[in-house]
Amino acid sequence: MKIVKAITLTALPVILLLAGTCVAADGGAGSETMATALRAGLIAIAVAFGLGLAAAVGTFAQSRATAAAMDAIGRNPDSAATLFVPLIIGLSFMESLVLYMLVVSFILQGKM
């Protein structure tokens, strides 16, 4: 959780500083292209952080679930058959969240 907080505290000022240049731009012809480039850059940053965070959190959750299932099977080997289906369903739900973020990133890349 400290890593997420550190990434957030590092990225937020950078994004806010970049957004200020769009607001302070002149009304000339170059400001429209500057705003478009800034928007594309912010979308790229959002996609990168979103995919990285989704992959990291999804992997962490899957490893914790698998470790808990293996611990339960180690304590009671007869429970392997009853734990298998809920484990697979839980892992597929966790992986689906990462895949949803991948779909969102493709949508955002299309808006660049």
Chosen CATH of 2-110 out of 3.20.20.100, 1.20.20.10, 3.30.230.70, 1.25.40.420: 1.20.20.10
- Cβ neighbors of 53 (< 8 A, separation 6 or more) are 4, 7
When pLDDT is averaged across residues 105-112 and rounded to a whole number, the result is: 80
- Answer with the residue of higher pLDDT: 2 or 71: 71
Instruction: Quote the CA–CA distance of 99 and 78 in Å, as a whole number.
Output: 33
- Answer with the residue of higher pLDDT: 61 or 15: 61
Q: Give the pLDDT confidence of 47-84 residue by residue, as tens digits.
A: 888 888 888 998 999 999 999 999 998 999 888 888 88
Instruction: Quote the CA–CA distance of 34 and 20 in Å, as a whole number.
Output: 12
Q: Give the pLDDT confidence of 88-106 residue by residue, as tens digits.
A: 999 998 889 888 888 888 8
When pLDDT is averaged across residues 8-23 and rounded to a whole number, the result is: 59
Residue 21 has a pLDDT of: 55
Residue 17 has a pLDDT of: 57
When pLDDT is averaged across residues 25-49 and rounded to a whole number, the result is: 75
When pLDDT is averaged across residues 33-41 and rounded to a whole number, the result is: 81
- Longest CA–CA span in the chain (Å) reads 73
